[in-house]
Chains A and B, each alone.
Chain A
Amino acid sequence: MAKPKPVSETYRERRKAKSVSEMDGLHGKSASDKRMAKSLSELDGDERVIATAEQIVFSVDRLDTTHDMLSILSDFDSRFSLKIGRLQAHLEERFRSAQELVSRWAPPTANARYYLQAVDEIQSLVANAYIRDDMLERAQSVSRVAMDRLVQELQHSLRRHSLLPDTKWLYSRLSRPEDGGSAFNKEDSASEIVSLEDCQNVGLLLDLVRPEVVPDIRAIAKRLIAGQHDQECCRAYADVRKEFLDETLRQLGLEKLSIDEIHKTSCGPLEGKIKKWTQGIKIAVRVLFPGEKKLCNQIFQGMGLVEEVCFSETCELSMMQLLIFSEAMVISCRSSERLFRTLDMYETLSDLIVDVDSVFSDELISKEASNIVVRLGEAAEDTFWDFANSIERDDSKIPNTWDAIHPLSRYVMSYCGHLFDYSKTLLKLVQRKHPNNLNNPKAYHDPVARIIDSDSSDDESNTNSSLSEHLLKVLEILEWKLKENSKLCKDLPLAHLFLMNNIHFIVQKVKDSSELRAHLGDGWVKEHCGQVRQLATNYQRAAWYKVLGFLKDAGLYRNGGFSGGVSKGALKKRFKRFNAAFEDIYRTQKTWTVPDWQLREELRIFITEKLVPAYRFFVGRYRSQWDSERHAQKYIKYTPEDLENHIMKLFEGSSGSVDYRQCSKSFL
């Protein structure tokens, strides 16, 4: 460490210099001066004038105090001393009346203006070159009392007249509405641009202190600075303003949290805190801090550094506190659920960087903020690339019901949907070059990253296509994961139904989103529609193959040929079995669910088309085998219409159709 003694050294030097000048001054009354003064009184006429002039010239060379001149002149001629005496008396009178005002002044009856005038008077006396030493000391003493009083006064009136901004009003200045439900709404981003415009000036609209008092506070501050009490002035000002700023931020829901606390906060509450943060930091940087800056300017303009110091001491700590929160987010676990929140924070903070730069002149704050923006971006980007892996790693339990949409499907599709709300930001992030891509351990064993890195370039269409690749990969892994999952289902028809439902859900989501459709292409949609059909067929085969088998002629004839005639016993048995099998399927599959009504309808029709005509034909062919209708009805329990009605009741679910919006982890 360097020797830290410059201050004391210069101090000592200056002290030395000062004492030299003091010795030379008339206050010190050096020996030569005394001799000269003495010899002067012994001279007469012209000589006396010349000697005095010489003395003055000599003094001018060495000294700069008017006091000394006056002293020389009063020695020269009694008229001077008379004048000087009168001047002193006048000063004394000025001092006394000012002193009286300062010491006897008592608010609220007294007028503050007179007090300030008296302070000015005292200050000007302290600075007055003609003032005698004893009066200077008294004036300084009175000035000190006055300064103390003014510091208190400053603090008092600031505290009394500071206004807490209305949080509702502050929120109303924000682009996004308070309820987060529509935070991903496209229309919002349009309205954001509009309100950003007037956000720039909101800070200037904000009155943090009653405007009518501001000139008074400025008047007090002026005296404090003039009285060289700038440090006390800054402390008093910043202490009070910081209190109010803290309180405002607290009312905006910005808590003081340690990184550890944020780290331990579970997902749900953290979402809330992040939302509060993104709103809060916008309000702070665009409204509150500029408001503080305006106030500092109104009060301290033209008073040198004080304006800047007061502002930074009021606001910098709060800014740092806000940044600590985002720091904690960067550090905390990078789960894909956090991606969009991280992107929110990234977008918010990178939008604000310009404002931070303009509000804070301290480079460190700006650097800190842009540093965090970079790391938020990295965190978001990493999470983005890692998403496919996170699906692969997903170990959510076997679903309770196999017929519903798997939470993973909802989750992934919700992710894909939201991706486009952030596509601009994401593209910007993905576009950034990785100079160390070769050394990137991620690229080494991450298939997705490898695919995309292999053709990464600055070209936007390329990046765009890398987004498509990402989507394709994500959906591919999702499908694979769903298939793996379906293998765990013991009931084969149900496994097919599960896959059909989920793939259909995915296709539907893609169809509903023009961006997704554009990125994945019509070919993808067509292919997956085909897959849904295939799965429906698979299901129908697995579920109904046996039942349809009962409607075949084979095995009903004696001697194995048509010529042998129908075996009544076999026929009876056949119908019995058919009825039992059908009822069995009906009973179980009535409780299964196909959440999408259209798909449900289509599937029922599909089954009906397969089953009912075959049944109708079968019944028509063998009804005549019974002697009487009564007999026949005993075995032919269902008319084809009955079957159709039953089939139309399939897949309703045990408790009606499930509202799937209620049961999944979501990005919102």
Chain B
Amino acid sequence: MRTPAAATQGSSSSGSSPSGTVRNLFFSSRPQVHPMNHSHGSPSKEVAGSSQPGQGQGQGVEIFLRRVGEYFQTLVETPNDLLSLAWLQDVLATALGCESEFKVLVPRPKPPLSKAEEKIAADFFERSVKALDLCNAIRDGIDQVRLWQKHVEIVLCALDGRQRSLGEPQFRRARKALGDLALAMAAAVDDKDSPAGAAGLLLLASRNRSFGRPSQRGGDAPSHFRSLSWSVSRSWSAGRQLQAMGSNLVAPKSTEVAASNGLATAAYTMNNVTLFALWALVAAIPCQDRGLQTHFSVPRNFVWAAPLLSIHDKVMEESRKRDRRSSSSVGLLKEIHQISICVRHLSDLADTAKFPLAEQQDQEVRKLVLEIMNLWAILKDGLDPLEKQVREVFHRIVRTRTEAFDSFSRPISHD
């Protein structure tokens, strides 16, 4: 498993070495924020400049909310395809950007916190712990995709278009790899999630597995593939974790906002941002027991609400579309989806192929292989940066918690 930890620190807002300098984050100057590479509506300089520490917190919250709105507007307008790897990177960039903005708001820890603030902070951290597990689950999922990539690699190797002819021996190897791929994908699909999808994949798997293989030994593969899947216990569920993270997440009442000097609104917003980002990742990446039933019941008067909800709707629509085709419960990631379509197509071709291949079939196979190779390359190049971002989200949450413990462990007051 590849987990860039310290390596990702360079891109963090503090830009510090991973060791020992946690605390001065509170005192770091405003981080340089760049929402995404395409330069749509880069938030104006006056706004960025005016929220230097030292000004009233209420005003800071206003600016924070506006900035979050800008980030989400940029995300809505991203040219990258919904649920593609590049899009996911946009989503994470948005979350990380908002987090940097949020950090500016967090007051220098000066005890005593008011009761209201304390409650908000406790709730915030309760939710953030749940986010950590989701980050790890997504890293698992990325690893899972890497494993699939290895099977795809064998297919590509077997049906390498540079070979003079694609004969039976090449197909035999490819079919076996396709079978293993299908098995690996099936193992990632939780039965609860979509029985049809899982069964279909397993069927595909067994079909390819049985090829030229003594039947008495065919049985042992599925069980061991299952045991490899995840680093959490079998009962853990990404869907439930998301729901737990979002449970009772309601917009603060005006009294709460006033009592906490606006912190309640900011915390509520940041919670939603994190939840949304993780929800999008869980939607795209294979995770144990995925489930997208998380509802975002956000009042429309938040600037960021409309763009967030519109993206949410689009993802849900895509999810429904895919489910109807019962094609994929392995994550809605566009590239995976496309690969699995190609793979399916290729499997069908391999099953019906008569050797030597007819010219047309040969061309078709070569075209498919080329297509798969393109997708494989996109995934290969995109997974590492994505994982780095997930890791970064993880570390940011941890850092914020660590800092908070410093401020919470102060004596509240003693008489």
On A, residues with C-beta under 8 Å from B are: 1-2, 4-8, 11, 14-15, 18, 22, 137, 140-141, 143-145, 147-148, 152, 156, 159, 228-229, 231-232, 234-235, 239-240, 242-243, 246, 255-261, 263, 316-317, 320-321, 324, 327, 330-331, 333-334, 362, 364-365, 367-368, 370-371, 374-375, 378-379, 382, 386, 389-390, 392-393, 432, 434-436, 439-442, 445-446
Which residues of chain B are within 8 angstroms of A375 by Cβ–Cβ distance?
Answer: 398, 402
- Minimal Cβ-Cβ distance residue in B for A145: B212
Which residues of chain A are within 8 angstroms of B168 by Cβ–Cβ distance?
Answer: 141, 144
Verify A382–B18 contact, CB threshold 8 A.
no
Verify A141–B169 contact, CB threshold 8 A.
yes
Alpha-carbon separation in the docked complex, A393 to B111 (Å): 14
Which of B150, B164, B398 touches A331 (beta carbons < 8 Å)? B398
Q: With an 8 A cutoff between CB atoms, is B320 at the interface? A: no
Verify A11–B373 contact, CB threshold 8 A.
yes
Alpha-carbon separation in the docked complex, A228 to B20 (Å): 48
Most buried by B among A4, A141, A159, A261: A4
Which residues of chain A are within 8 angstroms of B398 by Cβ–Cβ distance?
Answer: 327, 330-331, 375
On B, residues with C-beta under 8 Å from A are: 1-7, 18-24, 26-27, 85-86, 89, 108-111, 129-130, 132-133, 136, 143, 150-151, 153-154, 157, 161-162, 164-165, 167-170, 172-173, 176-177, 180, 212-214, 217, 220, 224-225, 227-228, 230-233, 236, 241, 244, 370, 373-374, 376-378, 380-382, 385, 398, 401-402, 405-407, 409-412, 414
Q: Nearest-CB distance from A134 to chain B (Å)? A: 11
Q: Nearest-CB distance from B89 to chain A (Å)? A: 7
Verify A367–B7 contact, CB threshold 8 A.
yes
What's the A-B contact tally at a CB cutoff of 8 Å? 195
Q: List 30 A-B contacts (CB under 8 A).
A: A1-B86, A4-B380, A4-B382, A8-B374, A11-B162, A141-B168, A144-B169, A148-B176, A152-B213, A159-B220, A235-B150, A235-B151, A256-B230, A256-B231, A256-B232, A257-B232, A259-B129, A331-B129, A364-B5, A364-B7, A367-B4, A368-B6, A378-B402, A389-B410, A435-B21, A439-B27, A440-B23, A441-B109, A441-B407, A446-B410
Verify B129–A386 contact, CB threshold 8 A.
no
Which of A18, A232, A374 touches B154 (beta carbons < 8 Å)? A232
Which of B132, B382, B406 touches A442 (beta carbons < 8 Å)? B406
Alpha-carbon separation in the docked complex, A246 to B228 (Å): 9
Alpha-carbon separation in the docked complex, A370 to B133 (Å): 21
Verify A260–B130 contact, CB threshold 8 A.
yes
Apart from A141-B172, A371-B19, A382-B405: 4 A-B pairs, beta carbons within 8 A: A239-B224, A260-B244, A367-B5, A393-B411
- Minimal Cβ-Cβ distance residue in A for B230: A256
The SS class assigned to the A binding surface is helix
Verify B5–A368 contact, CB threshold 8 A.
yes
Verify A4–B378 contact, CB threshold 8 A.
yes
Q: Nearest-CB distance from B164 to chain A (Å)? A: 7
Verify B27–A389 contact, CB threshold 8 A.
no
Alpha-carbon separation in the docked complex, A442 to B381 (Å): 43
Which of B2, B401, B411 touches A392 (beta carbons < 8 Å)? B411
Verify B169–A140 contact, CB threshold 8 A.
yes
- Minimal Cβ-Cβ distance residue in A for B128: A331
Most buried by B among A1, A15, A330, A382: A1
- Minimal Cβ-Cβ distance residue in A for B233: A256
Contacts A7-B377, A378-B402 known; A324 to B370 CB distance under 8 Å? Answer: no
List of 8 A-B pairs having minimum Cβ-Cβ separation, nearest first: A144-B169, A4-B381, A140-B169, A7-B377, A367-B6, A258-B133, A374-B19, A368-B5
Which residues of chain A are within 8 angstroms of B410 by Cβ–Cβ distance?
Answer: 389, 445-446
Which of A18, A260, A371, A382 touches B129 (beta carbons < 8 Å)? A260
Verify A436–B233 contact, CB threshold 8 A.
no
Q: Nearest-CB distance from B410 to chain A (Å)? A: 6
Alpha-carbon separation in the docked complex, A368 to B387 (Å): 14
Which residues of chain A are within 8 angstroms of B225 by Cβ–Cβ distance?
Answer: 239
Verify B377–A243 contact, CB threshold 8 A.
no
Q: Nearest-CB distance from B26 to chain A (Å)? A: 7
Q: Nearest-CB distance from B126 to chain A (Å)? A: 9
Contacts A231-B157, A334-B409, A378-B20 known; A8 to B26 CB distance under 8 Å? Answer: no
Q: Nearest-CB distance from B118 to chain A (Å)? A: 14
Which residues of chain B are within 8 angstroms of A333 by Cβ–Cβ distance?
Answer: 405
Contacts A141-B168, A231-B153 known; A259 to B132 CB distance under 8 Å? Answer: yes
Most buried by B among A228, A235, A435: A235
Alpha-carbon separation in the docked complex, A371 to B395 (Å): 11
- Minimal Cβ-Cβ distance residue in A for B378: A4
Q: Nearest-CB distance from A170 to chain B (Å)? A: 21
Which of A1, A8, A145, A260 touches B370 (beta carbons < 8 Å)? A8
Which residues of chain B are within 8 angstroms of A6 by Cβ–Cβ distance?
Answer: 377
Q: Nearest-CB distance from B289 to chain A (Å)? A: 12
Which residues of chain A are within 8 angstroms of B26 by Cβ–Cβ distance?
Answer: 439, 441
Alpha-carbon separation in the docked complex, A1 to B81 (Å): 13
Contacts A145-B172, A258-B133, A259-B129 known; A5 to B377 CB distance under 8 Å? Answer: yes
Which residues of chain B are within 8 angstroms of A246 by Cβ–Cβ distance?
Answer: 227
Alpha-carbon separation in the docked complex, A316 to B328 (Å): 28
- Minimal Cβ-Cβ distance residue in B for A6: B377
Which residues of chain A are within 8 angstroms of B227 by Cβ–Cβ distance?
Answer: 243, 246
Q: Nearest-CB distance from B306 to chain A (Å)? A: 27
Verify B3–A368 contact, CB threshold 8 A.
yes
Which residues of chain A are within 8 angstroms of B385 by Cβ–Cβ distance?
Answer: 1
Alpha-carbon separation in the docked complex, A158 to B289 (Å): 31
Alpha-carbon separation in the docked complex, A158 to B352 (Å): 34
Q: Nearest-CB distance from B56 to chain A (Å)? A: 21
Alpha-carbon separation in the docked complex, A330 to B19 (Å): 14
Which residues of chain B are within 8 angstroms of A368 by Cβ–Cβ distance?
Answer: 3, 5-6
Which of B132, B378, B409 touches A260 (beta carbons < 8 Å)? B132
Verify A243–B411 contact, CB threshold 8 A.
no
Contacts A239-B224, A259-B132 known; A2 to B23 CB distance under 8 Å? Answer: no
- Minimal Cβ-Cβ distance residue in A for B4: A364
Verify A22–B164 contact, CB threshold 8 A.
yes
Alpha-carbon separation in the docked complex, A330 to B414 (Å): 28
Which residues of chain A are within 8 angstroms of B150 by Cβ–Cβ distance?
Answer: 231, 234-235
Which residues of chain A are within 8 angstroms of B23 by Cβ–Cβ distance?
Answer: 436, 439-442
